């Protein structure tokens, strides 16, 4: 990885009249720095003409987490990562990685960090194995006596052992991504920073990379995973931050972000799986559900707001979900599935930004 620039900034925060990001979904106030693998305060990157790629970013990535950095293409994710790794200078604000200021402490920090940013830079005329040997030889702390073992283990972990002797120029995009990830895994890392790591992978390859990320997290590595793929983040991450147009919208645990959206909607949506959809719609409507939709063998509907008693429009005793299920059965409905839906990260994004996820950043 290139050495970071030596010139840093004074940690100046954005102007006071700039609105700050929304508070964290899982508690007010910043965590102590010792608990954080990545911490930014007012991190800003402006290009010529005043265009803000990243605007006053306050980010807190807990150690040991799998942290999803979520946003559309162009929302400032890669620019943020490049500042964190010391590859470009911030215009304002500060960043700490593994408790150390960046880019000033880059020489101490970067050996503890594995990174895959904007796709790997490979020597096309070399084999996958020889590319990794070159990367390993460039690491000043790598013991050359164990190089072959490290390279072989990294290739095995990303599923490239069989293609290790193939020239990199003949690799598919997905294979190149795997090789870049292998390079990041040559040494044990405290922090792994991955920018769109499943780009170009087929569904099976995506599943394998997700499994690898979980394995790394179980071993104690903090994983910072940038992606525009909502499903990818939701399946593997414990925490997430939502970016849009260079601004941090919110951050917190994935469960807390989903709960925030459900709380804003009331009690969320109920889903009933049954062959008796018409009767189900009738019973649910009688008990106060709205927005009822029936498709195939599923009926969904919006539960009333939390301050509106379910099934008690006249102020009677509220009917809970177990009683609602019993009412369906009493009406002769054959219930095969019954439960509330958790808000997805797509729901979170749309709720917080007011727009779909395929917008330009």
Extents of the domains making up the chain: 33-261, 269-340
CA distance 224 to 81: 9
> Among 4-13, 72-81, 203-212, 231-240, whose mean pLDDT is lowest?
4-13
**With 70 as the cut, is the pLDDT of residue 66 above it?**
yes
The CATH number of 33-261 is 3.40.50.300
What CATH number labels 269-340?
3.30.70.100
Helix (H, G, I), strand (E, B) or coil at 135: helix
Q: What is the pLDDT of residue 135?
A: 93
Confidence band of 199 (pLDDT split at 50, 70, 90): confident
**39 contacts 202 by C-beta, under 8 angstroms:** no
- For residues 65-86, average pLDDT: 90
Which of 253, 262, 270 is closest to 347 using CA atoms?
Answer: 262
Q: How far apart are alpha carbons 178 and 73 in whole angstroms?
A: 21
Most confident of 48-52, 166-170, 269-273: 166-170
pLDDT of residue 305: 60
**Helices 173-184, 128-137: crossing angle, 10 deg rounding:** 30
Three-state SS at 328? helix
Cβ within 8 Å of residue 16, ≥6 positions away: none
Q: Write out pLDDT tens, residues 103-155.
A: 999 999 999 999 988 778 899 999 999 999 999 999 888 899 999 999 999 99
Pick from 183-187, 209-213, 265-269, 308-312: least confident: 308-312
pTM comes to 0.69
pLDDT at residue 104, as a whole number? 94
Sheet with 290-295, side-by-side order of all strands:
290-295, 298-302, 269-273, 337-340
Q: What is the average pLDDT value for the chain, to the nearest integer?
A: 81
């Amino acid at each position: 990885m290139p050495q970071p620039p030596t010139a840093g900034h004074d940690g100046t925060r954005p102007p006071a009249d700039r609105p700050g990001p929304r508070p964290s979904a899982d508690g007010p106030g910043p965590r102590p720095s010792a608990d954080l693998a990545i911490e930014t305060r007012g991190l800003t990157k402006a290009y010529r003409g005043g265009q803000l790629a990243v605007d006053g970013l306050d980010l807190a990535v807990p150690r040991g987490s799998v942290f999803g950095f979520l946003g559309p293409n162009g929302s400032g994710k890669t620019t943020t990562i490049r500042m964190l790794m010391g590859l470009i200078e911030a215009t304002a604000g500060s960043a700490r990685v593994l408790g150390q200021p960046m880019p000033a402490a880059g020489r101490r920090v970067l050996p503890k960090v594995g990174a895959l940013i904007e796709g790997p830079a490979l020597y096309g005329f070399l084999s996958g194995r020889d590319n990794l040997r070159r990367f390993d030889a460039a690491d000043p702390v790598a013991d050359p006596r164990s190089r072959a073992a490290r390279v072989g283990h990294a290739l095995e972990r990303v599923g490239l052992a069989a293609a290790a002797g193939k020239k990199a120029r003949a690799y598919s995009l997905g294979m190149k991504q795997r090789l870049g990830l292998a390079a990041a895994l040559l040494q044990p890392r405290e922090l792994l920073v991955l920018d769109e790591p499943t780009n170009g992978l087929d569904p099976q390859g995506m599943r394998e990379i997700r499994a690898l990320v979980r394995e790394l997290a179980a071993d104690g590595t903090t994983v910072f995973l940038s992606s525009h793929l909502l499903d990818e983040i939701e399946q593997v991450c414990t925490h997430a931050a939502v970016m849009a147009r260079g601004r941090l919208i919110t951050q917190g645990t994935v469960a807390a972000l989903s709960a925030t959206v459900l709380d804003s909607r009331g009690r969320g949506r109920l889903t009933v799986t049954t062959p008796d959809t018409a009767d189900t719609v009738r019973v649910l409507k009688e008990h106060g559900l709205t927005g009822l939709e029936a498709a195939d063998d599923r009926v969904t509907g919006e539960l009333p707001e939390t301050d509106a008693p379910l099934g008690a429009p006249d102020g009677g005793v509220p009917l809970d979900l177990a009683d609602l299920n019993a009412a369906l059965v009493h009406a002769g409905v054959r219930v095969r599935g019954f439960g509330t839906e958790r808000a997805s990260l797509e729901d979170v994004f749309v709720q917080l930004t007011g727009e779909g996820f395929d917008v330009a950043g």
